[in-house]
Amino acid sequence: MVLAQLGGSISHTLQQMSNATIIDEKVLSDCLNEISRALLQADVQYKMVHDMQSNIKRIVNFDDLAAGHNKLGIIQQVDFIQQAIFNELCKMLDPGKPSFTPKKGKTSVIMFVGLQGSGKTTTCTQYAYYHQRKGWKPALVCVDTFRAFCQLNQNATKAKIPFYGRYTESDPVKIAAEGVERFKKENCDLIIVDTCGRHKQEAALFEEMRQVSEAMKPDLVIFVMDGSIGQAAFDQAQAFKQSVAVGAVIVTKMDGHAKGGGALSAVAATKSPVIFIGTGEHMDEFEVFDVKPFVSRLLGMGDWFGFTPRHMYEQFQNILEMGRIDQVLSMLPGFSAESMPKGHEKESQAKIKRYITMMDSMTDAELDSTSTKLMNEARTELRPNDHEKESQAKIKRYITMMDSMTDAELDSTSTKLMNEARI
Ligand code: GDP
């Protein structure tokens, strides 16, 4: 998917910056211009890219860097800038919690809206199936046309999820009200309503959708968006948000050629978070969306957020045995699938072995923690361009830094305070 290319070009730009002999305003500007170009190519809205640039320039104060961090090497300055970019991208994708979070065992009505072809009907089933596997009691209501009626009915039957729809009835408001009423009586805790879709953003569709929403009073409206629609995403999402109270977004077709930047635009237009992404048309090709691991992978910073180091340790060993070096490397900080030089498998293998050795020296607590900030800073600084000596010096510097820590800081798994104070 094109997002991976975006990640590749951003991490490539950051790597180039780490080769600079000095980081000044020009070097940062050049780097930010490159990153902005990559974001625009991935269909991120111009205004968002521009805001991100100005925010980062404001955060990275060169006087401060020179005065307070003059002992830091170039690599650490790049890390500082990378962290600023990471935070800005996370901010763009994280407008806060959805307007409502359903609770197992308590009835919630969730209304799905989106254009025809966006993947709305597929997503309704995937959302229902995801919750059913976690012990919820979901139900599906279809107020859409004959085509969607058949499709949703088939999907529901396959997944053994109760379904309500009437293709002889043409009033969507009536069907929605009947369906919701029936499943409330049956004590379903997640009543999912698939609304009508249209090819275009027609006024009639929005009016009908508004009426269905008024009649049903859903607890949450989810806007479903095709991840490959590009720059059109902002206007489309905004049009839906103006008609109904969109509280969350699901982006579909992230397995295909989706540029993904549309997801950022939808978040900006609806001020609602992406909660899931669709990665295929099958029932289980549906993933919870987490901002930090997503951006982390995007920047080639590795997959540290989702896994504990022990998971990675086991995966490294498995994949090493299977010889899938490319897979392992894209999970490591500082690497991306695109930045991987072909024909360097031996070097790559040596690098992985180094990671495994590093992990061998970890405590059980470190291996099982999902909060790896402390560990990231101390142990995972090995970048493709680092020289061994620099890395060693860096590790020594971190050890010195840790020597000055209080017991509370050393024992805490939340390293926020420490990060802010010391990095
Ligand atoms: P709706 O008109 O918005 O209800 O869209 P559908 O659910 O009918 O989906 C439109 C087409 O996209 C169908 O052919 C689906 O199988 C396909 N589709 C939906 N979600 C995904 C996805 O995440 N990945 C891929 N590759 N195809 C998808």
Both 131 and 243 in one domain: the answer is yes
Q: 128 C-alpha to center of ligand 1: Å?
A: 16
CATH at residue 151: 3.40.50.300
Query: What are the pLDDT digits (tens) for 84-133?
Result: 888 888 888 888 889 899 999 999 999 999 988 899 999 999 999 999 99
Both 142 and 71 in one domain: the answer is no
Residue 183: which of 170, 172, 196, 192 has the closest Cα? 192
In a domain, 413, yes or no: yes
Rounding to the nearest 10 degrees, give the CA dihedral for residues 207, 210, 212, 213.
170
Using the atom order of ligand 1, give the atom closest to the CA of residue 116: 2
In a domain, 200, yes or no: yes
CA distance 314 to 364: 14
Domain span at residue 146? 108-291
In a domain, 298, yes or no: no
CA distance 1 to 43: 13
Which residues approach ligand 1 with their CB closer than 6 A? 114, 116-122, 148, 151, 197, 252-253, 255-256, 278-281
Pocket test for ligand 1, best of 281, 282, 286 (most atoms within 8 A of CB): 281
CA distance 385 to 91: 29
- What's the total number of domains in the chain? 3
Sign of CA dihedral 102, 125, 254, 297: positive
Residues 25-45 have a mean pLDDT of 84
Both 192 and 276 in one domain: the answer is yes
In a domain, 98, yes or no: no
Cα Rg, the chain, nearest whole Å: 24
Both 287 and 328 in one domain: the answer is no
Query: What are the pLDDT digits (tens) for 367-406?
Result: 766 554 545 545 544 444 445 556 566 666 666 666 666 6
Both 276 and 346 in one domain: the answer is no
Q: Which residue has the tokens 């820590």?
A: 405
- The complex's ipTM works out to 0.99
Both 273 and 312 in one domain: the answer is no
Residue 131 tokens, joined: 């919750």
CA distance 49 to 170: 44
What is the pTM assigned to this prediction? 0.69
